[in-house]
A and B are shown apart, each in its own frame.
Chain A
Amino acid sequence: MSKLPEDLKYTKSHEWVRTLADGTLEIGITDHAQHALGDLVFVEVPEAGRSVKAGEACAVVESVKAASDVYAPISGEVTAGNARLAQEPEAVNTDAYGAGWLWRLRPESGAVAAAALLSAADYQQVLDAEGG
């Protein structure tokens, strides 16, 4: 498995979070998660303006085999869904930490601290414990 980007934060449920220059967050699923899902053929992302709560299912990624929910790691208001994935769901497979981002979010006050996100090293331990 490839090395985890150090500049991202992670969740135990295999999402990643990137802090953008304007303070909004970009969220996707990890390379481990896309690999476990297999070839993605359909991705549904939340629309801008939607308010999401941490732990809420807010995107769906479907491989040939199965549909899986992606949970919001942090509460806030969606500022954008990645529209490109409607035509190119495979971008999540080929570039999980880049072009395959799922949605962007303006976090609620205090929501980032409450989320208790993992560092790359801590997430690596989660993967090691799973045998990944």
Chain B
Amino acid sequence: MIKNISNLGDAAVYCDFGKDVNREINTQVIKYFKTIQNKNIEGINNLTPSYNKLIISFDLKKTNYKTIKKLIENLDINIHKDLQSKKKEIPICCDESFALDIKRLEEKLKIDREKIYENFFKKNFFCYMTGFIAGMPFLGDLDIDMRVERLETPRVKVPKGSVGITEQFANIYTFESPGGWNIIGNTPKKIFDNSKEIGPNLINPGDTIIFKNITKKQYKDYNE
């Protein structure tokens, strides 16, 4: 449940669900997010769920912090209702030309690449949130022996489709973007479709994701 509600500037409510990052807390965040979204509350113009926070933005011309805060405090959240989550498979190619940071990972983790990939592909990932750039999913959790820091100096350009890891998380770069995650492969699949107004994101918070290893030939021949 929400531990603390405060204001973030003059046009947003900041809901803090506690300091930990885990599925249980994140599921709470997602349930609040979905409940508020379905209510279409006058004045609310954006919602940003993340690991353990929910930020509610509103139009200061139409409402204010006090009003929205009260509304959230009195919200009836059905915490027992199941999340409607989907299971999706994402093909990735781990050819050396895509796996930009595999050497660094071998050195940092002191595990050889075969084992790194074995650990990665056997995981069922949970989508905590999407964002930063359009459609980018933040997936967890990697085992403790697979966790590594971001690059000391982020790349100016990470290629579109890159799959990266850092700490307990994996993500997918839906567009070419600056970024500091350790890149282990690349997916030919469209993760964000900017031509679709409904459901442009392939992966949504609460979804389960498994990655499938494909060859460079399969990558080249990939057709959606």
Does B bind A? no
